[in-house]
Amino acid sequence: NAGVTQTPKFQVLKTGQSMTLQCAQDMNHNSMYWYRQDPGMGLRLIYYSASEGTTDKGEVPNGYNVSRLNKREFSLRLESAAPSQTSVYFCASSEGIHSPNTEAFFGQGTRLTVV
């Protein structure tokens, strides 16, 4: 079972470069999320997509953009990378944000370093 697949797993960028993190889920979930994980900070929500065609800002959206390409795919773009964006990024999905009895399923993460 693939579940949630993220690419790439590792990436090193120079300050000012751009890149897109890809995420795809095969569980027919409605909602998808992007989190970043930093030491001592836990997981913080960057953006989420409640359903296909909608996206909304989370707790830390500055410097990022997202696209919900279709029901399966949700990408995260860094237009001009900064060292403060060095982090581990996780994509997750769930049945839907309007269903409280739901769990989130996570990808393996993308470890991004901006130098």
Q: Which stretch binds another protein (CB under 8 A): 15-23, 44-52, 62-70, 76-84?
A: 44-52
Nearest-approach distance from CB 99 to another protein, in angstroms: 6
Count of residues making up the chain: 115
Q: How far apart are CA 42 and CA 51, in angstroms?
A: 25
Q: Where are the beta strands (DSSP E) in 1-115?
A: 4-7, 10-13, 19-25, 31-38, 42-49, 56-57, 64-68, 74-78, 87-94, 105-106, 110-114
By CB under 8 A, is residue 1 in contact with another protein?
A: no
* From candidates 4, 13, 23, 32, binder to another protein by CB under 8 A: 4
* From candidates 21, 76, 92, 114, binder to another protein by CB under 8 A: 92
Coil/strand/helix, residue 55 = coil
Q: Which stretch binds another protein (CB under 8 A): 19-27, 61-69, 77-85, 101-109?
A: 101-109
Coil/strand/helix, residue 83 = helix
Closer of 17 and 108 to another protein (Cβ) = 108
Coil/strand/helix, residue 46 = strand
Point out which residues bind another protein (CB under 8 A).
4, 33, 35, 40-45, 48, 50, 58, 90, 92, 94, 97-104, 106-109
